[in-house]
Amino acid sequence: MKVTVKYFASMRDRVGRAEDVVEIADGSTVADVWKQVAGDQDLLPNNTLIAVNMEYTDSKQTLKDGDELALFPPVTGG
């Protein structure tokens, strides 16, 4: 199965690219994909916004072939 992973703002800086298309195993979760694409970096931060196919979800979400996973850093400002 293949999924597209898109990184935004500081998440893009953290991994050094804007997008990946990755092969994943059946039953893979968002957390599994993060481990695959981030290598030796820390696990997905708890406050990261996660969307699968433009719907917010969490790191336990199971992915399907063709899904689009988007990772956003927490929004701050004043």
Instruction: Please spell the DSSP secondary structure of 2-53, one letter per residue.
Output: EEEEEE-THHHHHHTSSEEEEE--TT-BHHHHHHHHHTTSPPPPTT-EEEET
Q: Is the pLDDT of residue 67 over 90?
A: yes
Which domains, ranges and CATH numbers included, belong to the chain? 2-72 (3.10.20.30)
Residue-wise pLDDT tens digits, 10-47: 888 878 899 999 999 999 999 999 888 887 666 566 67
- For the whole model, what pTM was predicted? 0.87
